[in-house]
Structure 1
Amino acid sequence: MRISVTQDNFPLMLSLVFIVFFALLGIAPASRAVWIAEVVPVLFVFLLLACTYKVFRFSNVAYGLMAFWIFWHTIGAHFTFSEVPFGFVSDLFGFERNHFDRVGHFSVGFYAYAMCELLLRRKLTGPIIATLFSLFFIMSIAAAYEIIEWWYAVAEGGEAGLAVLGSQGDIWDAQKDMLADTLGALFSLALFWIMGRRWGSRP
């Protein structure tokens, strides 16, 4: 039996691929303590989207954008973000640190697309407020996540705490992470308003 991906079953197929992907990367992670800490937000978001699917179905574009972060963060959880084999990118651009986590933060901003879509399709507000709210939503999530990382690093201590914090010796790491989240939100909102008239409605 041949199973094909269609517009209607795209979210389901994406979720099935993620379940297999998650299970495989849950085998022998670099640090089980770090893996547990990092997959908690991934599972929370995945289960939230799965449980609310019948209440509100986002467009396939929104699901694809949100899935990018879920998959990316799962990879980071397996290796720990600073140790993901990402050296070829660092070498290509001459970076002094592993920026795998920065890409992850940028992709957090992709959720602004889904938030804007939700607000407009539910007719909860107008386009300007929806756009600004979606941007500020991501910025608040970014700040909250940095606070949680700091709290965990202090509470856990040791190598696991440092791995979750992931600063790699950069004293401005938290600020740069929040900037990456914000830039990702601006990118996804621009994408929404360039193509959202056509893709913003489901699917």
Structure 2
Amino acid sequence: MTTANDKLVLEFKGRTFQKILLVIFTAEWTALAIDPVYRPEWLLENYLVFAFVLFIFISYKKLQLSDLSYLLLTIFMLLHQVGAHYGYMNVPVGFQIRDIFSLSRNPYDRIVHFLYGALLAYPIYEMLKRYGRQTGAWLYILPISFIITFSATYEIIEAMVAWVLPEKEYDPFVGMQGDIWDGYKDMLAAAVGAIISTTFILCSDLRNKNKS
């Protein structure tokens, strides 16, 4: 598996691991798209997915990433599709976690927000390192900044949806579950995930530097 430190194989036909990831995501997306619990929410949750996947295909030759980055992106997308299918506040495994830890709400959305920061920090780090030519502290500060910015932007999009749609359509999408601070907590979860992930990246880079 290639990482941010490895030279990449430019041709897609030579990247078997990425083909496997594509097949897995396509299979899950197709299965969960057939009969989602609430189609309007599924569509709202997938608009950004369509745009993101389209961006990856269009920019693939110029902005390729390592196998590790694509693996982390795929894991997040798989988790997101589960939330889109059931509705984030109605994912069955979330209710199981709620009952085990005696929580007041289904925590699946909060967990995915945390993993959003934790999983996407590395691909952003790699893009900055490989194409942005960033070095030093900025290589570790900017991924956290981008994660917080993207998370805040998503919360703004959710708020805009809440303004224009009927309650029965926007409430499952926003998924506040009665918590007026839900959006802020989601952003905090993403930021914490990004900080933890970036800290591991920094420690790994320092260890590799000391070895060399």
TM-score range, shorter chain: 0.7 to 0.9
AA in 1 matched with 2:105: R
Shift of 1:133: 1.3
| 8 A Cα contact 1:46 1:70, kept in partner | no
| 8 A Cα contact 1:106 1:184, kept in partner | yes
AA in 1 matched with 2:106: N
Alignment of structure 1 residues 142-161 onto 2, 5 Å:
142-161=151-170
**1:90-119 deviation per Cα after TM superposition (whole angstroms, max 9, x unaligned):** 112111100110111112212221111111
Stretch of structure 1 that moved more, 129-138 or 188-197: 188-197
Unaligned 5+ segments in structure 2 are: 1-13
TM-score (norm 2): 0.84
AA in 1 matched with 2:193: G
Unaligned 5+ segments in structure 1 are: 1-6
Q: How many corresponding residue pairs?
A: 193
* 3-state SS, counterpart of residue 127 of structure 1: coil
Shift of 1:127: 2.8
Residue of structure 2 aligned with 1:105, choices 113, 129, 150: 113
TM-score (norm 1): 0.88
Shift of 1:187: 2.1
1:115 pairs with 2:124: yes
Shift of 1:130: 1.9
Identity in percent:
32
| 8 A Cα contact 2:65 2:127, kept in partner | yes
Stretch of structure 1 that moved more, 141-150 or 7-16: 7-16
Q: Which has the higher contact order (CA 8 A, sep 6+)?
A: 1
Shift of 1:139: 0.5
Partner of 2:3: none
Stretch of structure 1 that moved more, 75-84 or 126-135: 126-135
Over 6 Å off, 4+ runs: none
| 8 A Cα contact 2:114 2:191, kept in partner | yes
**1:24-80 deviation per Cα after TM superposition (whole angstroms, max 9, x unaligned):** 100111111111000111222222223322223212221111112211111111111
